[in-house]
Amino acid sequence: MPINYALFSAVSGLGTNADGMSVVANNIANANTKSFKTDRAEFEDMLAVTLNERSQLGRGARLRNITTMFNQGAVTNTGQITDLSVQGDGFFLIKSDVAEVKESNGLFYTRQGSFRFDKDGKLTDPSGARVQGYMPDPDSNNRLSVKLTDLQILSNIIPPRATNLVNVVTNLDVRDKPPVDDFDLSRPADTSNFASAVTIYDNYGNGRQAVIYYVRTTEVDKNAWKWYATVDGMEVSTDPPRNEKGKVLPAVIANGTVEFDEDGKPVLPFRTKSGIPIQVDYINKTDAFDVQFVNGARPQKLQFNFGPTIDEDAVVGTQGSTSLAAKSGVAFHSQDGYEAGYLKSLKIDLDGVIRGTYTNGLERRLGAVALAVFQNNNGLQKIGRNNYIATPKAGEARIGMPQTLSRGSIYSASLEESNVDLAQQFVDMILTQRGFQANSKAVTTTDTMLEEVINLKR
């Protein structure tokens, strides 16, 4: 067997350990790179020469693979709401029209969540690549579309909404006696048992204070109360009625009777589409009152609900008015109207949903960040800037909302640190350096052996 075979084996060891040192050096260089994943050099031997049926002579070593370790890195707080980190296996999706790698159709995957809004309100990374996610569905009520698209948060004004439903949760003292005189708009407080106030909005977002007066009926066999919703007379007429002193009288915009059963709970004569008993005709609105405020406001229908509360999404609650032997008092009023509002603040939940809080107190879902997971993360190809592209070895990208499957949760105002373990890298560096040194000794020793062979001629 030629002596120079040993020389070639040692040279391959030098090259292999040099490659290993390059991997270690790259890991150390990226020890402070956000979301960087450690690489591991994996070597294999080379069997090239068969001596006999039981023996093979190796020809050295070579670099078999560089495996990326996708274990979770530490998460640090940044205070910047658009800085996002993933606790789980998911990758953010970003799209760029000027990407250097065209095979990916401009779609990349990353764990680096250092995002910001550009001039168009799109969430982007520092290079301008657009974060992908789900925007609100224009054809639904506060639901998100299933179509993957650029995340764009517009700080447009929320238009006002006229009040259509007023929920009243109050207790009316069953011990009260009916007033001596009939309800009189010239002295409503003296001719009623109790009163409460609620704000009602028109289509312009103007708020009107409405006072609801409650009057115990004279029916001795029933626990029933008449109610009158009133506003300032100038709110519904340019020439309202006045008293003898010229003071504008309040105007009744809605009135009715609420009856309570033997348990002090309101009688519920209507039902929702799903069959849940309620106190107002929520479907046909036969009990709604037509109201038109002054200053050009459009006509609007008003319903006053004393039974179980109904929210904006038509979900029936559990609270309702009562008539018990306790002092009359208001638990709360709610209504579905609101004034115009501007975007005041953003927050991003663990499930990736971006919520906006507006100056009128409303909260809206403005979008959601999407995450992708792969069957084989090691099939992803690094392309720099902490980005990856999918290859057939990685499998199909499974894209969806955070906190589904193994995609993980999103933490706002935080970034994932590199998962490089410097102590381990220094140990690997020592081993690699010693391996290189030993192979260099093999080269010099083989050279000495060749020199002895040459000297045989002397």
Contact 134, 141 (CB under 8 A): no
Contact 142, 365 (CB under 8 A): yes
Map out the domains of the chain with their CATH numbers: 4-71+418-455 (no CATH), 75-158+343-416 (no CATH), 165-335 (2.60.98.20)
Q: Where are the beta strands (DSSP E) in 297-403?
A: 300-305, 329-335, 343-348, 353-358, 363-369, 371-373, 381-384, 387-389, 398-400
Structure tokens, 180: 């001596």
Contact 62, 16 (CB under 8 A): yes
DSSP string, 421-444: -HHHHHHHHHHHHHHHHHHHHHHH
Return the ∠ at Cα 375 (arms to 371 and 377), rounded to 5°: 75
Residues composing the chain? 458
Query: Would you state the pLDDT for residue 456?
Result: 83
The pTM assigned to this predicted structure is 0.79
Q: CA–CA distance from 370 to each of 39, 109, 448, 449 (Å)?
A: 26, 11, 63, 64
Helix, strand, coil share of the chain (percent; to 5): 15, 40, 45
- For 230, phi and psi rounded to 5 degrees? -125, 155
d(CA 93, CA 96): 10
- Coil, helix or strand at residue 206: coil
Reading the chain (458 residues) residue by residue, the pLDDT tens digits are 567 778 888 888 999 999 999 999 999 999 999 999 999 999 988 877 777 777 777 788 989 999 999 999 999 999 999 999 999 999 999 998 876 555 567 899 999 999 999 999 999 999 999 999 999 988 776 789 999 999 999 877 889 999 999 999 999 999 999 999 999 999 999 999 999 999 999 999 999 999 999 999 998 889 999 999 999 999 999 888 998 888 999 999 999 999 999 999 999 999 998 899 999 999 999 999 999 999 889 999 999 999 999 987 788 988 899 999 999 999 989 999 999 999 999 999 999 999 999 998 888 899 999 999 999 999 999 988 899 999 999 999 999 999 998 999 999 999 999 999 999 999 999 999 999 999 999 889 888 888 888 888 76
d(CA 236, CA 128): 54
DSSP string, 89-115: S-EEEEE-TT-S-TTTTTEEEES--B-
Contact 383, 102 (CB under 8 A): no
Closest CA to 158 of 367, 362, 345: 362
Structure tokens, 152: 């764009």
Query: Would you state the pLDDT for residue 60?
Result: 86
- For 113, phi and psi rounded to 5 degrees? -105, 30
Contact 69, 419 (CB under 8 A): yes
d(CA 324, CA 354): 44
